[in-house]
C-alpha cells in the first residue's frame, strides 16, 4: 500500500537484507501470502489507537463496539477485543478462505474471554445486517472497490444505518501525484521485499489496478499475491459521498512529515489544508450526528 512521500524523497529499492528468520530463509515456496500481507501492510495497533483518539476527540469518551468492514484476516478485530475487557468486534468479509485463515492464525489461540467478543460474518458489506455499532472501520482503501458513485454512497448509507446515533465511520484514503502514475515501490522487510505495483491508471475513469508482489533473497517471487481493481477516489469526492449518505460531518486527519526522511511521521491530525506531495495517506472520520457542544446544550436548557 502507498506511504507518504514528499516530492524528491527517495523510494527504497534495495533487496531484503535481513533474510534469515529463525534460521529459515524465506522463499516463495515456503511463504504464506496472508502472513506476508499482515507483516508488510497491516498496522492494527495504530488503527485501534486511532479509533480511541477519534472517539476522545469527537465524542469525549471511548467506544466499545467496532465493525471491521472488509476485515480479511480480521486482525484489527482481535486487537480491539484484546485491548479492553468490554470491547466487542464484528468483522465482515465475503471471502471465506481469508476468514478461515484468520480463524486458524488468530482467533483459535485466543482465550474464550476474548474470542467470545469477536464475531466474524461472511457477507457483503453492502448487504450485511448487524446490531448497531459505535464504530465502523474500513481500512487499507478497501471501499475503493466501489467504482460507481451510486454504489459508494450506498455503502456509506449502509454504514450510517448500522451505526449508533453518535457513531463514527473511520476509513483511509491515498493520493498524491504518484498515485496517478504507473510505478513500483519496494520496501525491504524481514527476509522479503514487499512490492506495491501501481500497474494501471486510467485518467478518464479514475480506475486503477494495483498488485502486491513479494520477492525473496533466492530470486523467487510471489507475483501478484494480491490484486486490487479500484477507483482512485479523491478526498472531496469521498467526503461529498459521505454527506450525501447522511453523515453530519467529516474530518480529514492529515499525516505530519518526518523532516529527516521526507516521508510521513505516523502522526495524523485534523486538518483543512494538505500538501501537494508525491504520495500521501489520510484518515477520514465521518460523524453520524454532529457533536453537541456545551453552548448548544446550555441553549436548550
Ligand X SMILES: C[S@@+](CC[C@H](N)C(=O)[O-])C[C@H]1O[C@@H](n2cnc3c(N)ncnc32)[C@H](O)[C@@H]1O
Bridge partner list, 121: 92
Bridge partner list, 2: none
Long-range contacts of 267-273 (CB under 8 A, 24+ apart): 268/50, 270/57
Pattern of binders to ligand X over 15-44, x per CB under 6 A?
--------------------------xx--
Q: Which of 2, 72, 167, 191 binds ligand X (CB under 6 A)?
A: 72
Size of the site for ligand X (CB under 6 A): 17
Q: What's the CA gap between 195 and 189, in Å, rounded?
A: 10
Task: Report the residue number, 25 or 201, with the smaller CB distance to ligand X.
Answer: 201
Q: Which of 81, 89, 125, 170 binds ligand X (CB under 6 A)?
A: 125
Q: What's the CA gap between 206 and 147, in Å, rounded?
A: 9
Segment interacting with ligand X, rule: CB under 6 A, options 121-129, 163-171, 181-189, 267-275? 121-129
Q: Return the DSSP state at 78.
A: H
CA dihedral 122, 124, 130, 132 (to 10 degrees): 140
Q: Which of 6, 88, 140, 198 binds ligand X (CB under 6 A)?
A: 140
Q: Per CB under 6 A, does 142 bind ligand X?
A: yes
CB of 275 to ligand X, least distance (A): 25
Task: Report the residue number, 152 or 163, with the smaller CB distance to ligand X.
Answer: 152
Q: Per CB under 6 A, does 145 bind ligand X?
A: yes
Burial readout 55-79 (b: 16 or more C-beta within 10 A, e: otherwise)? beebbeeebbbbbbbbbbbbbbbbb
Q: Per CB under 6 A, does 98 bind ligand X?
A: yes
Q: Give contact residues for ligand X (rule: CB under 6 A).
A: 41-42, 70-72, 92-95, 98, 124-126, 139-140, 142, 145
Amino acid at each position: 500500500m502507498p506511504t507518504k512521500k514528499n516530492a524528491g524523497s527517495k523510494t527504497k529499492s534495495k533487496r531484503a537484507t535481513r533474510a534469515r528468520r529463525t534460521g529459515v530463509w524465506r522463499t516463495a515456496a515456503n511463504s504464506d501470502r496472508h502472513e506476508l500481507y499482515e507483516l508488510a501492510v497491516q498496522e492494527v495497533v495504530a488503527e485501534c489507537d486511532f479509533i480511541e483518539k477519534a472517539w476522545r476527540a469527537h465524542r469525549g469518551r471511548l467506544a466499545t463496539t467496532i465493525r471491521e468492514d472488509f476485515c480479511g484476516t480480521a486482525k484489527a478485530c482481535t486487537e480491539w477485543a484484546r485491548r479492553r475487557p468490554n470491547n466487542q468486534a464484528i468483522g465482515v468479509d465475503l471471502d471465506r478462505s481469508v476468514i478461515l485463515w484468520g480463524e486458524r492464525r488468530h482467533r483459535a489461540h485466543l482465550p474464550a474471554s476474548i474470542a467470545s467478543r469477536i464475531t466474524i460474518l461472511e457477507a457483503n458489506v453492502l448487504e450485511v445486517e448487524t446490531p448497531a455499532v459505535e464504530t465502523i472501520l474500513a481500512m487499507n482503501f478497501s471501499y475503493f472497490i466501489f467504482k460507481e458513485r451510486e454504489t459508494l454512497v450506498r455503502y456509506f448509507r449502509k454504514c450510517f444505518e448500522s451505526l449508533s446515533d453518535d457513531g463514527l465511520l473511520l476509513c483511509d484514503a491515498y493520493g498524491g501525484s504518484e498515485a496517478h502514475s504507473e510505478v513500483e515501490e519496494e520496501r525491504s522487510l524481514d527476509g522479503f521485499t514487499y512490492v506495491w505495483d501501481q500497474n494501471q491508471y486510467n485518467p478518464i475513469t479514475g480506475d486503477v489496478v494495483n498488485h502486491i508482489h513479494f520477492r525473496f533473497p533466492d530470486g523467487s517471487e510471489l507475483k501478484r499475491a494480491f490484486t486490487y481493481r479500484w477507483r482512485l477516489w479523491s478526498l472531496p469526492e469521498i467526503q461529498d459521498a459521505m454527506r450525501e449518505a447522511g453523515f453530519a460531518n467529516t474530518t480529514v486527519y492529515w499525516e505530519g512529515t518526518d523532516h529527516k526522511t521526507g516521508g510521513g511521521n505516523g502522526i495524523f491530525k485534523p486538518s483543512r489544508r494538505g500538501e501537494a506531495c508525491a504520495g500521501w495517506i489520510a484518515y477520514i472520520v465521518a460523524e453520524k450526528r454532529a457533536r453537541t457542544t456545551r453552548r448548544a446544550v446550555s441553549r436548550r436548557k
